[in-house]
């Protein structure tokens, strides 16, 4: 490997390491926010689900909801629309 390639590689590795450190710090901050929310009485499991759903495109979220409903009905864990319990 040429010395210029070695230098580029080192730069990439250092940048990745710095970003990984930043990511760890941000993850710690996110955890702190969830802890604060929990202490205020919020359900953090549901909050995490909401965050995940908000990231999704509307179409993808609707498809996921439809599949979940279909599976729940098939397993007898929910009733289909219009069906009485």
Indicate if 38 and 16 belong to the same structural domain: yes
Indicate if 49 and 71 belong to the same structural domain: yes
Going by the DSSP 8-state scheme, the letter that residue 76 receives in this structure is T
The predicted pLDDT at position 84 comes to 56
Indicate if 57 and 36 belong to the same structural domain: no
* Residue 78 near residue 69, CB atoms below 8 Å: yes
Phi-psi region of 76 (alpha: psi -120 to 50; beta: other; left: phi over 0): left
pLDDT digits (tens, 9 = 90+) for 30-81: 999 999 999 999 999 999 999 999 999 999 999 999 999 999 999 999 887 6
The predicted pLDDT at position 79 comes to 83
Number of structural domains in the chain: 2
Indicate if 15 and 30 belong to the same structural domain: yes
Indicate if 85 and 49 belong to the same structural domain: yes
Domain containing 33: what range?
Answer: 1-42
Indicate if 50 and 80 belong to the same structural domain: yes
Indicate if 37 and 52 belong to the same structural domain: no
Look at the pTM and tell me if it is higher than 0.75.
no
């Amino acid at each position: 490997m040429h010395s210029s390639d070695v230098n580029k590689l080192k730069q990439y590795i250092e940048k990745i390491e710095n970003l990984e450190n930043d990511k760890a710090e941000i993850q710690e901050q996110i955890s702190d926010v969830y802890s604060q929310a929990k202490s205020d009485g919020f359900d953090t499991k549901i909050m995490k689900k909401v965050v995940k759903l908000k990231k999704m495109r509307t179409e993808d979220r609707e498809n996921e909801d439809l599949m979940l409903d279909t599976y729940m009905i098939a397993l007898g864990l929910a009733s289909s629309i219009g069906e009485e319990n």
